[in-house]
Amino acid sequence: MAYLSRNPAPIPTPVRIGLIGSGWMGAFHAESIARRVPDAVLAAIADPNLESAEALAKSLGTAKVTASADDILADPEIDAVIIASPARFHAALISQAAAAGKHVFCEKPAGQGLDELDAALTAVEAAGVHFQIGFNRRYAADFQAAKKDLAAGIAGQPQLLRSLTRDPGNGSIPNAARVPAWTIFLETLIHDFDTLNWFNEGAEPVGVYAVADALVEPALRDQGFLDTAVVTVRYSNGAIAVAEANFSALYGYDVRGEVFGSKGMVQAGRSTETAARRYTAEGLAADTPRLNVELFRDAYTDELADFTAVVRARRDGTPPPSADFTLTPGAADARRALAVALACIESVKQGGPVAVPAATKAGV
């Protein structure tokens, strides 16, 4: 053997991440960390459902397992946590993680009410930890390209905006009866509200009018379950935005954004799975993205890679990543989008337009 050297450079310590919640989203984030984010390691998994946590750990072959998030928060070998528990626990977990000095990546929504969210964000601020929310569209290549164009002034002053989310489906909603009634606003359209806020950066959402109905599952209308919604959002700069969602698109997963302004328009949204096309006696055809992990696979990876890079920069004193435009969604973004979602619920209840409470509070 005549190798010149072995390991010429010290291997930098990867960012050690603890996962809280091993459901579908948590498991996907775990896999991203373990296999697609080279600078991070999945150090531990916490889930009250230990079987779920153990199965995930086994499939990835790497992590410590516990039933209690407390173990992760107390573990000095953990740099940061991914919170992917049910939404009702988010705000409290953020507070606890911040108090334990862990950097926080939290799935949306960061809270279910402004009060609990403000408490959590105050804890984050007090602890000085990094906070990022899972608004993954900011990391989709086409949404970033659109944002870059907007930041460069291509569309001019925004006047009309649109963001829509149509989840893939087959005409019914599995277990719909068990999904919380306001999910369409708090968990789905909150993505669109962030997209609109991000695309219309510098303006604040000031009022909304929301219409929602159970059109996919009319039988659930009486239980208050809503699967289709359209929201008009007014902004402080006069721009008028529309957000739209539906829980069952038979052609797959459809997520689009559009900004029209004084100088032009930018659009984001990918309607086909690849650039391949086929032409037959039936005409032109192409495959559409069927799953959110088909449409946003790279975005899911990149949001965690960005989180990892920022945490590493904080921990090791290295330079943080940078972009030509606002990218990482943080505390103010989480609060602003939630404020819009909550106003929508109020609008549906009242049957008319309602104001959005000051979306940013002092210090956030």
Which residues, 202 to 261, sit near its own copies by CB under 8 A?
A: 209, 211, 213, 215-216, 218, 228-230, 232, 234, 238-240, 242, 244, 246, 248-252, 254, 260
Nearer to its own copies, 3 or 175 (CB): 3
Nearer to its own copies, 100 or 266 (CB): 266
Nearer to its own copies, 131 or 193 (CB): 193
Strand partners, 245: 165, 229
- Ranges within 84-143 binding its own copies (CB under 8 A): 141-143
Q: Which of 174, 175, 222, 275 binds its own copies (CB under 8 A)?
A: 275
Residue 241 sits at φ, ψ, to 5 deg, of: -120, 150
Q: Which of 19, 127, 155, 189 binds its own copies (CB under 8 A)?
A: 155
Q: Does 293 engage in binding with its own copies (CB under 8 A)?
A: no
Q: Does 174 engage in binding with its own copies (CB under 8 A)?
A: no
- Ranges within 33-92 binding its own copies (CB under 8 A): 34-36, 38, 44, 50, 53-54, 57-59, 61-68, 71, 74-75
Q: In the complex, what is the shortest distance from the CB of residue 319 to its own copies, in angstroms, rounded to a whole number?
A: 16
Q: Does 176 engage in binding with its own copies (CB under 8 A)?
A: no
Token code pair at residue 268: 């984001």
Task: Give the C-alpha separation, 168 to 163, whole Å.
Answer: 16
Q: Look at the block and give the residue holding tokens 């829980």.
A: 247
Task: Give the C-alpha separation, 344 to 356, whole Å.
Answer: 9
Stretch that binds its own copies, among 32-40, 119-127, 326-334, 336-344 (CB under 8 A): 32-40
Task: Give the C-alpha separation, 324 to 334, whole Å.
Answer: 21
Count CA atoms closer than 13 A to 270's CA, side-chain side.
22
Burial of 50 (0-12, 13-18, 19+ CB in 10 A): middle
Nearer to its own copies, 238 or 357 (CB): 238
Nearer to its own copies, 32 or 112 (CB): 32
Q: In the complex, what is the shortest distance from the CB of residue 64 to its own copies, in angstroms, rounded to a whole number?
A: 4
Q: In the complex, what is the shortest distance from the CB of residue 85 to its own copies, in angstroms, rounded to a whole number?
A: 18
Q: If you ran DSSP here, which 8-state letter would residue 110 be given?
A: S
Task: Give the C-alpha separation, 187 to 359, whole Å.
Answer: 18
Nearer to its own copies, 112 or 301 (CB): 301
Q: In the complex, what is the shortest distance from the CB of residue 153 to its own copies, in angstroms, rounded to a whole number?
A: 10
Q: Does 282 engage in binding with its own copies (CB under 8 A)?
A: yes
Q: In the complex, what is the shortest distance from the CB of residue 223 to its own copies, in angstroms, rounded to a whole number?
A: 16
Nearer to its own copies, 35 or 349 (CB): 35
Q: In the complex, what is the shortest distance from the CB of residue 288 to its own copies, in angstroms, rounded to a whole number?
A: 5
- Ranges within 321-350 binding its own copies (CB under 8 A): none
Long-range contacts of 94-100, Cβ-Cβ distance < 8 Å, separation of 24 or more: 94/120, 94/121, 94/123, 94/124, 94/131, 95/119, 95/120, 95/123, 95/124, 96/69, 96/70, 97/20, 97/73, 97/129, 98/123, 98/124, 98/126, 98/127, 98/129, 98/131, 99/123, 99/127, 100/73, 100/74
DSSP 3-state of 242: strand
